[in-house]
Copies of this chain bind each other. A is one copy, B any other.
């Protein structure tokens, strides 16, 4: 029953609770109770509460980093941008609880050292997607595209529709926005 997977189970439960209730409102006691271990056990696997969050980040943002790295090697064409969005969309599906969490806990994360980390990443994504000297409105379009993809999923959760259809719709809008921004500039 108690295999060496405890660390993983802590991460799973923590992510679920963090996403559902927020980071601040989720106590280690609660996590421990769900896992049916003591709080002290958590401290065997993680140095602090924040450490659990950091570990979630590291596991889940790797795909995002890889995508950014890939994007950097590509030419700045519209096709590349579209492909980046497509890949990003798939990344988001896989890591959706984390992104939901980040979307909804921005304030809580501000001083968590990770905040900057994530903002940085967003900025680098933005660099890949927008033209260097884009007009203000086009910059907004690119930001909006990213935001739309982040928020899209859970805002649409109430809506009755096939999840994959929703994802495609969100992706379509994002690609549209970036395309307009690209087109206008050239």
Contact = CB atoms under 8 A, between A and B. Distances in A.
A140 B161 CA distance: 13
Interface in A136-174: 136-137, 139-141, 143-144, 147-148, 151-152, 155-156, 159, 161, 165-166, 169-170, 172-173
Contacts of A104: 105-107
Contacts of A108: 22, 24-25, 105, 107-108
Among A144, A161, A165, chain B packs the most CB atoms within 10 A around the CB of A144
A125 to B, nearest CB: 13
A122 to B, nearest CB: 9
Interface in A103-119: 103-108, 110-111
A173 B106 contact: no
Interface residues of A, number: 40
Given A105-B107, A107-B108, A108-B107, A147 B151 contact: yes
Interface of A: 19, 21-25, 101, 103-108, 110-111, 135-137, 139-141, 143-144, 147-148, 151-152, 155-156, 159, 161, 165-166, 169-170, 172-173, 176-177, 180
A171 to B, nearest CB: 9
Contacts of A106: 103-105
B147 A169 contact: no
A98 to B, nearest CB: 13
Contacts of A136: 161, 165-166, 169
A167 to B, nearest CB: 10
Contacts of A148: 140, 143-144, 147-148
Given A105-B108, A136-B166, A143-B156, 18 more contacts: A22-B24, A101-B107, A103-B106, A104-B105, A104-B106, A104-B107, A105-B106, A136-B161, A137-B173, A140-B148, A140-B156, A140-B169, A140-B173, A144-B148, A144-B152, A144-B173, A148-B148, A173-B177
